[in-house]
Every structure is written in structure tokens, then in C-alpha cells.
């Protein structure tokens, strides 16, 4: 008996592309099983992996304070936050895996510096005020960037971002609350907060990426609904949000040109030093080597653990109850 | 769309300068609102000393587990170890606060500013020889194999203890124990699963984990003999004599190790606890110096 012939026509690429375009145009979601253009898939893997790497590398600057947090309450808050970041990395790597990427391979690309992560995490955290300022400004900037991604055209990414944003918003409040407490403390604590704000303000503005007229991947990402607002638009939103918060806190933002434009109701701010951004992006920031070295050590020093887990799983694939329920 | 706007709105609510801006992070001290009266017939000094032993065990093991964060073998393990650390930190805060509530603060209260809560005075302003944890929790982590063997031993012991302490005559201690039982059940299970994988994984993982077992077993001796405080409190129905736990702990560990194809070392000969007497290693001084560094550098600060 011969196999039945499939009388269903194989859709040609043009039809698939039309269907994809229609989904995007209708502001509906693309799901893993749907056809998608190769450029869309690759671009998304690049973006999601970079985002996942940022979460994982982002554990380090604050993680450096876990062992020396100044009170048990602060230690609990910080440990929970760093744990959340590991969780965000997990959701995001999982979202990338729905596009055919492999987590171990993406981790290798991070360690071999073939994929990037947010440059903000290449700055050091010399005092405990840095923990608060990272929460307030860095997480605040991340939220401005990420909230629009909750409407990304790619379903798994959009859903991951909803959860990530809720937790980030909580972290931002915790950071700000720490700074408020420190500002009500000693002179030394107030000086620490101001110093940390001075160091993180400009790098936070750079988190939105290059200006719109110098952003190579933006146009296509906007057209595909992967990205929703331009870099400059989001940066402006962040400045408008942060200035009143700085006033409540009682710190000065390190920009003499910062002023409210009475006509637009928005804040004008000084020119960003993009040469610094490019230096850090090129791997010449204060902590680039250290951040990657720690990821490399975690992978290499513990490779035997992963090998053992795989060997055990292979040996016991048939066992239904491998674990002890002692 | 609606969600997006809500998040932005929340971010803008910085006005007012109210200190309660971050919700859910526990502004109250751990025992706020709890009746901390000590029942008749219990010596508060003994009760406080006992809470310090158990609180210090949790605090020191939390610090050791936290050393893995950003260095763990897998992301899932970053989350899991941080989770165990957070549970232990929560237990430590309650137990230190309980010790403080019965006035057992030692010299820490003289060293710490009045605005510093008891839990922090005890964690940050005691010197190494004033800590009362066992040698099991303070030893350095070693590799991941030794880390999970220690976590297995420490959580098996603590779970056996906390399950019994739920009946303690001190209602505060009983409640802390009841809260800890499900947490420690998870820690023990998580560690046991890793010991199985590593013991029965590759020749290298077997070798490393056996070495971890041999190192950790020696440390169990520090938990085997009751101190005078524990003896008195056991008689008063508040505490449990650690010797009563030995059979259960040995059975659990033997079961896991045998399934993991590891050799079970001979149970160590009981000896008086050095850790409970405040005798600690140089590695502990190093760990404590780091833990206390920020708090001691800014003694007048509020965090």
C-alpha cells in the first residue's frame, strides 16, 4: 500500500510572509510554532539573549554587597533581589530557546564576548549607596526600556517581560527606599548617596542606547513590533520621571544644563559623552574583564557538576522515582 | 496597554517622601506584635543562649550559601541556594530577635547604637568568640559537592530538631520551629537530590563527593553532645538534647549516601561542642569580618 498523498498544498514563502505581516499589522502575537522571517528570528534571539545576559551579569555589581550588607533586613532584600535577577535570566533564556537557541550555547557566546550585555553593569559598586542607586536609576531606566516590551510582537518574550517588569518595579522602589533611609541618616551616608548618584546618572542615560539617528537596528525592530518606542523618546521619559524623584530625595543630578522647558513641560538635559559609552561597550569599562571572568569560572569550575547531572539523568532515565523521599 | 500605564504610574509616585514607599519588605522588627513573655519555670538567660546557638547556625550557613551566589553551576542553582539562604536568614532574624527579647544581648548592646535593632546588634556587634554556632556550618564551602553534602547534613539535623521543637514550652520558639519545618524539608530534599546525582554521576563527581562526605562527617561531632544550657532546657521542656537526634539524622544520611553509591563513614565519637563554647576557626573570623564590615564602619548610621 502506498502512502496517502498529501493534497494539502505546501504554503509558499510569499503567502507565509503575508500572513506574518498581517499578524504584525493587526498587533497580534507571533508564537513559537508560527512561521517567521529569518531576520525576525535572529534579531529576536540577539535581543533576548543580550537581555538575559544583562540579568545574569547584573547580579554581580550588587551581589558584591550580599556578604557585607549593613543589616539583616537589607541582606534579605538584596538576596531576594539578586535571586529575582537569576530568575529573570531563566525566563529570558527560555524565551530564546523557543526560537531554537540553546542556553549553554548562548552562555558560551557571552563568555567568548560574541554577544553583549548591558554596559551599565561594567561599572563598580564601591559603597552600599550603589545598591540603592542601581535600584532607583538603573532598574528605573531598565523599566522604561522594558515596559513597552510587554507588548512585543513575540508572545513568549512579551509574557516574560510582564513578570520581569513587575519585579523590576518592586526593586526600583526598594532601591529608592534605601536611599531615602540613607538620606535621613548620617552626613557620611548622605555624601555616599550623592557620590553614587554622580557616578550613575550619565551611565543610566546611556542605557537607552545611541541617539535615534545613530541606532542601526532600531528601524527594523520598530517595524516588526519588537521595539515600540525610539531610544531618545524613552530616554526623555526617564529624565522626566527621575528629576522630581531626585528633588524628593534631596540629591543633585550632575548636569548643570538640566532645566524644565516650560513650553513642553519636559526637561532639557546636557549632551551625553558617547565616547565613554563606546569605550565601555568595546570592553574597556572598569569591570568588563572581571564580570566575564566570573561567568567563565562558574561554567568551567563547575563543569564536572553539569556532567555528573547529565550522566545521572542518563543512567536513571528509566527510573520513575529516582529521588529519595526520605 | 493598561499594564504599561500602571507600571509607569507607579514609578512616578515618589512624592510625599514617606518612608513606607517600598511595600512588602518588612519594616517591622521580626517579632513585632508577638507576645514574648517567657513562661513560668524557664530561665530567660538559658532560653536566650539557646536561641543564639540556633540563630547563629542559621546566620552562618546563610552566609556560606550566599558565597555561591553568582558562582553556582547553573542558574537554577543560583535561585535554589539563594532560596535556602533566605529561609535561613529569616530563621536567624527570628531567633536572634527572640534572644534579644529575653535580654540576652551580651556586650553587643553596649557596642551598637540604640537605634540598631536587637537582631542587628547581635549579628553585627558581637565578636567571634561570642558566636555560638556549631563547627558544621562555619567550615568553608569546599567545592559544590562538599557544599551539598554539608547542606544535607545541616538540614537533616536541623529538621529533626525543629520538628521536635514545635512542642517546645516556649511558644515563640515553637512557632519559629513550625515555620522552619517546611523550609528545612525543602533544603534537605534539594541537597539529597544533588548528593544522589553527584555520588552516582561520573567517576570524578563520585570521588569529589566522597571527599566532601569524609570532610563533613568529622564536623558532625560538634553537634553530638548537649551543652549545659541544652541539658537544663531539655529538662524544662524547652529544648531537645542533640543526642536524641542522632539516630534519625544517621538514618537519613545513610539512606541518601547508600543510594548515591557513596561510602558512609563511621559516625564520629561524641565530644563536647567547641562551636557552642565560642571556639571558632580563623576562617570564621574572616567570614564574620566581612559580614560586619559595613555596619561597623558606620556605627551611627541607619539602614
What would the DSSP string read from start to end of A54-100? HHHHTHHHHHTTGGG-SSHHHHHHHHHHHHHHHHHHHHHHHHHHTTT
B161 in Cβ contact with B224 (< 8 Å): no
At A224, the pLDDT band (50, 70, 90 cuts) reads confident
List A residues 277-316 in contact with B (Cβ-Cβ < 8 A). Answer: 294, 297-298, 301-302, 304-309, 311-313, 315-316
Chain A residues in contact with B300 by the CB 8 A cut-off are 186
Chain A residues in contact with B183 by the CB 8 A cut-off are none
Query: So what's the pLDDT on residue A326?
Result: 47
Choice among A273-287, A301-315, B66-80 with the minimum mean pLDDT:
A273-287
Maximum Cα–Cα distance for chain B, whole Å? 66
Chain B residues in contact with A311 by the CB 8 A cut-off are 201-202, 205
A82-97 tens-digit pLDDT: 999 999 999 999 999 9
Distance CA B184, CA B186 (A): 5
Which residues make Cβ contacts (< 8 Å) with residue A41, sequence separation at least 6?
A99, A100
Query: So what's the pLDDT on residue B33?
Result: 87
The structural architecture, per CATH, of the domain B39-297 is Up-down Bundle (1.20)
Q: Average pLDDT of A250-261?
A: 97
A 10 A CB-CB count for B13 gives 11
Chain A residues in contact with B252 by the CB 8 A cut-off are 326
Question: Would you state the cell numbers that stand for residue A103, as one nine-digit string?
Answer: 542556553
Nearest to A120 by CA among A133, A129, A109, A110: A133
Chain B residues in contact with A305 by the CB 8 A cut-off are 73-74, 144-145, 198, 205
Question: Would you state the cell numbers that stand for residue B57, as one nine-digit string?
Answer: 547556625
pTM score: 0.92
Domain chopping of chain B, boundaries: 39-297
Query: So what's the pLDDT on residue A5?
Result: 57
Which residues make Cβ contacts (< 8 Å) with residue A17, sequence separation at least 6?
A37
Whose grid coordinates read 529573570? A88
- pLDDT > 90: percent of chain A: 77
Contact assignment for A189 to B70 by CB distance below 8 Å: no
Of B14, B83, B291, the CB nearest to A245: B14
Query: So what's the pLDDT on residue A320?
Result: 57
3-state secondary structure of A302: coil
Selected residue with higher pLDDT from A219 and B86: B86
Q: Is the pLDDT of residue A166 over 60?
A: yes
Contact assignment for B76 to A244 by CB distance below 8 Å: no
Contact assignment for A76 to B192 by CB distance below 8 Å: no
Any bridge partners for residue A259, and if so which? A268
A137 CB within 8 Å of a chain B CB: no
Contact assignment for B301 to A188 by CB distance below 8 Å: yes
Q: Is the pLDDT of residue B2 over 60?
A: no
List B residues 161-190 in contact with A (Cβ-Cβ < 8 A). Answer: 188-189
Q: Is the pLDDT of residue B24 over 80?
A: no
B213-231 tens-digit pLDDT: 999 999 999 999 999 999 9
Chain B residue with CA closest to A144: the answer is B8
Which residues make Cβ contacts (< 8 Å) with residue A44, sequence separation at least 6?
A96, A99, A154, A157, A226
A115 in Cβ contact with A295 (< 8 Å): no
A91 CB within 8 Å of a chain B CB: no
Query: So what's the pLDDT on residue A220?
Result: 75
Distance CA B128, CA B186 (A): 30
Query: So what's the pLDDT on residue A1?
Result: 46
- Checking ipTM against 0.90, whether it exceeds it is yes
List A residues 197-236 in contact with B (Cβ-Cβ < 8 A). Answer: none
**Type and span of the H or E element at A260:** strand A259-261
Highest mean pLDDT (candidates A147-156, A281-290, B238-247): B238-247
What angle is formed at CA B183 by the lines to CA B180 and CA B185, rounded to 5 degrees? 105
B7 CB within 8 Å of a chain A CB: yes
Chain B residues in contact with A150 by the CB 8 A cut-off are 3-4
Amino acid at each position: 500500500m502506498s502512502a496517502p498523498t498529501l493534497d494539502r498544498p505546501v504554503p509558499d514563502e510569499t503567502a507565509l510572509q503575508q500572513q506574518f505581516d498581517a499578524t504584525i499589522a493587526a498587533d497580534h502575537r507571533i508564537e513559537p510554532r508560527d512561521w517567521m522571517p529569518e531576520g525576525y528570528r535572529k534579531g529576536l534571539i540577539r535581543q533576548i539573549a543580550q537581555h538575559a545576559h544583562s540579568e545574569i551579569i547584573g547580579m554581580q555589581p550588587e551581589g558584591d554587597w550580599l556578604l557585607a550588607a549593613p543589616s539583616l533586613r537589607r541582606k534579605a532584600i538584596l538576596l531576594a533581589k539578586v535571586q529575582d535577577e537569576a530568575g529573570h535570566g531563566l525566563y529570558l533564556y527560555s524565551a530564546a530557546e523557543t526560537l531554537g537557541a540553546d542556553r549553554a550555547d548562548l552562555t558560551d557566546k557571552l563568555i567568548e564576548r560574541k554577544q553583549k550585555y548591558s554596559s551599565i553593569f561594567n561599572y563598580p559598586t564601591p559603597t552600599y549607596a550603589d545598591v540603592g542607586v542601581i535600584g532607583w536609576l538603573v532598574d528605573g531606566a531598565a523599566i522604561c526600556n522594558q515596559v513597552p516590551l510587554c507588548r512585543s510582537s513575540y508572545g513568549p518574550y512579551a509574557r516574560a517581560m510582564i513578570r520581569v517588569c513587575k519585579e523590576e518595579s518592586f526593586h526600583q522602589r526598594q532601591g529608592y527606599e534605601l536611599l531615602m533611609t540613607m538620606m535621613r541618616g548620617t552626613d557620611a551616608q548622605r555624601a555616599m548617596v550623592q557620590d553614587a548618584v554622580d557616578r550613575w546618572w550619565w551611565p543610566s542615560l546611556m542605557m537607552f542606547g545611541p541617539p535615534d539617528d545613530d541606532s542601526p537596528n532600531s528601524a527594523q525592530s520598530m517595524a516588526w513590533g519588537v521595539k515600540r518606542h525610539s531610544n531618545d523618546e524613552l530616554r526623555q521619559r526617564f529624565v522626566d520621571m527621575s528629576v522630581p524623584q531626585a528633588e524628593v530625595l534631596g540629591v543633585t543630578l550632575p548636569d548643570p544644563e538640566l532645566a524644565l522647558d516650560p513650553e513642553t513641560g519636559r526637561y532639557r538635559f546636557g549632551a551625553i559623552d558617547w565616547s565613554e559609552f563606546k569605550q565601555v561597550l568595546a570592553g574597556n569599562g572598569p569591570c568588563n574583564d572581571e564580570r566575564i571572568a566570573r561567568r567563565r569560572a562558574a561554567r568551567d569550575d563547575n563543569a564536572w557538576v553539569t556532567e555528573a547531572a547529565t550522566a545521572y539523568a542518563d543512567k536513571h532515565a528509566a527510573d520513575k522515582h529516582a529521588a529519595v523521599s526520605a | 496597554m493598561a499594564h504599561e500605564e500602571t507600571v509607569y504610574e507607579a514609578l512616578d509616585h515618589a512624592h510625599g517622601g514617606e518612608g513606607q514607599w517600598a511595600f512588602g519588605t518588612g519594616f517591622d522588627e521580626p517579632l513585632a506584635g508577638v507576645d514574648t513573655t517567657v513562661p513560668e519555670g524557664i530561665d530567660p538567660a538559658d532560653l536566650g543562649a539557646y536561641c543564639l546557638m540556633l540563630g547563629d547556625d542559621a546566620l552562618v550557613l546563610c552566609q556560606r550559601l550566599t558565597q555561591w551566589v553568582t558562582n553556582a553551576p547553573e542558574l537554577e542553582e543560583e535561585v535554589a541556594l539563594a532560596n535556602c539562604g533566605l529561609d535561613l536568614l529569616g530563621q536567624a532574624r527570628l531567633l536572634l530577635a527572640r534572644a534579644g527579647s529575653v535580654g540576652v544581648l551580651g556586650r553587643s548592646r553596649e557596642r551598637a547604637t540604640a537605634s540598631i535593632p536587637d537582631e542587628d546588634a547581635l549579628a553585627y556587634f558581637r565578636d567571634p568568640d561570642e558566636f555560638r554556632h556549631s563547627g558544621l556550618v562555619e567550615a568553608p564551602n569546599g567545592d559544590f559537592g562538599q557544599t551539598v553534602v554539608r547542606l544535607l547534613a545541616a538540614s537533616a539535623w536541623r529538621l529533626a530538631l525543629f520538628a521536635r521543637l514545635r512542642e517546645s514550652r516556649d511558644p515563640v520558639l515553637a512557632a519559629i520551629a513550625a515555620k522552619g519545618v517546611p523550609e528545612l524539608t525543602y533544603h534537605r530534599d534539594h541537597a539529597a537530590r544533588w548528593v544522589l546525582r553527584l555520588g552516582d554521576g561520573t567517576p570524578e563527581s563520585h570521588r569529589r563527593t566522597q571527599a566532601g562526605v569524609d570532610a563533613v562527617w568529622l564536623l558532625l561531632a560538634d553537634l553530638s553532645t548537649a551543652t549545659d544550657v541544652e541539658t537544663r532546657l531539655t529538662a524544662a521542656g524547652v529544648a531537645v538534647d542533640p543526642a536524641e537526634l542522632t539516630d534519625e539524622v544517621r538514618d537519613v544520611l545513610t539512606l541518601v549516601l547508600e543510594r548515591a553509591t557513596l561510602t558512609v563513614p563511621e559516625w564520629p565519637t561524641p565530644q563536647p561542642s567547641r562551636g557552642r563554647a565560642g571556639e571558632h576557626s580563623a576562617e570564621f573570623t574572616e567570614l564574620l569580618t566581612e559580614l560586619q564590615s559595613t555596619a561597623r564602619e558606620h556605627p551611627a548610621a541607619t539602614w
